[in-house]
Structure 1
């Protein structure tokens, strides 16, 4: 296990990643947790008639893995998530392996605020989610 970072340890340009293969089970679990049973995500026959021609993961499922990096790696435990914006660029499909990449872009020492670029890419290195998060790191 890596050493827990303090606010002072974190530098501009620092990065951290997390990878996960998105399964059908993940999509059903997310639908159950959120109540979002949009048939585009859970009904293969319906999804075949859509623009994507197959089921896709919820956009926020893909985006939610950013929280994994922020809370567990960079900045890590004791991080308070203040804001996040997302731009959904491309769909994530069942079986896609996504990689979350966060990068420290700015630090505000007076309030221990950190602004991070947040991106999710698929196994082909295509950008699927682009965004920015602001967090507070408590030591």
Structure 2
């Protein structure tokens, strides 16, 4: 399940403080397995039910960076969108995401430096209204001048 606003690009000249975009995605067992394969992070807390039951999480959880990847998807596909270059990201993980959870990932413009094309954005992910990840992204936004 994927629910999001239209994809594309908002160039630096059209960005405004307070603009936001989001997506919603249900994290599946297949997503977790694919992330483990691509990242080579096969920690059993993500993949082995029996092992994960005996951890502080009392069950399997998704990789934190899989959840963080949803922030990247919003930035790269919606705000600012295609042509954006990631410069930095801070993150704090607050709660685990479990297989079957639907994650809401949102980014919101907080600062714009038009001369340098630098944009700062607050980022968060939540499950059932509870934040699971918070942070700030700094990006180089695309410009109409460089089309």
The question of a shared fold, defined as TM-score above 0.5 by the shorter chain, is answered with: yes
State the alpha-carbon separation in 2 of the partners of residues 56 and 39 from structure 1. Answer: 10
1:110 maps onto 2:110 in alignment: no
> 1:45 and 1:63, CA in 2 relative to 1: closer, same or farther beyond 3 A?
same
Distance in 2, Cα, partners of 1:68 & 1:43: 27
Deviation of 1:5 after TM superposition, in Å, equals 1.5
Matched ranges for 1:1-139 at <5 A: 4-122=9-127, 124-139=128-143
TM-score normalised by L of structure 1 = 0.96
Count of equivalent residues: 138
Unaligned runs of 5+ in 2: 1-5
Structure 1: 5+ residue stretches without partners: none
TM-score, normalized by length of structure 2? 0.91
Q: Runs of 4 or more off by more than 6 Å in structure 1?
A: none
Distance across 2 between alignment mates of 1:20 and 1:96? 8
Go from structure 1 to structure 2 and tell me whether the alpha carbon gap of 1:83 and 1:59 turns closer, same or farther (over 3 Å shift): same
